[in-house]
Amino acid sequence: MANRTGIALGSNLGNRLTHIQVARDMLKKIVPHNSIFKQAPIYQSEPVNCPRNSPDFFNTVIEIDYLGNPYELLEATQAIEFHLGREVVFQDNAPRVIDADILYFGTTTLKESILNIPHPEMTSRRFVLQPLADISPNLILPGDKATIAEHLKYLDSDEPPLSLVQSDW
């Protein structure tokens, strides 16, 4: 049985739009044929908790049906990152060609060193909540009571508003 899964995509190095498009296209190849595939608009956001002078990010969220387990999906998202040239960097939140984070995986909850589901910081980040609210505003994460739209409405964050880059991509 497929799990409805959200994945955040972000890029702040090189051709950000192309990197996100290629990551999306690679993710489409791992989902069942004729399954529902949602993609949010792409937004530009200022870096959050990143090194000084980091470039702005392009961010979006896609939602897929995934047949494997969370660890297989983690392996797939990491393979996409490395395929696009993401390097291993030992500095937190360093600029990157692509970032593909699993946000939620059906009703699964995990708290492990390599994988936390739902993503522990997603409801405090405008650059995740805004695109996710565009495609799944009524989603309630496992262990939560509020919808994604409610989290966005009541977000207490210093992040400036996002700039729409592209609705259809």
Mean per-residue pLDDT of the chain: 92
- Residue 77 in 3-state DSSP? helix
**Using CA of residue 143, residue 5, residue 134, residue 36, what is the dihedral sign?**
negative
Look up the pTM and report it. Answer: 0.93
Domains of the chain (ranges, CATH numbers): 3-166 (3.30.70.560)
Residues above pLDDT 70, as percent of the chain? 95
Q: What's 143's DSSP letter? A: T
Residue pair 18/98 in contact (Cβ under 8 Å)? The answer is no
Residue 100 CB coordination number (10 Å): 25
Q: What's 124's DSSP letter? A: G
Whether pLDDT at 99 is above 80? yes
Residue with tokens 């939140």: 93
Residue pair 155/121 in contact (Cβ under 8 Å)? The answer is no
* Cα dihedral value 152, 153, 156, 162, nearest 10: 60
Measure the CA–CA gap between 55 and 40, rounded to whole angstroms.
Answer: 22
Tens-place pLDDT, residues 141-157: 999 999 999 999 999 98
Q: Which of 4-18, 39-53, 85-99 has the lowest mean pLDDT?
A: 85-99
Tens-place pLDDT, residues 30-80: 998 888 899 999 999 988 877 788 899 999 999 999 999 999 999 999 999
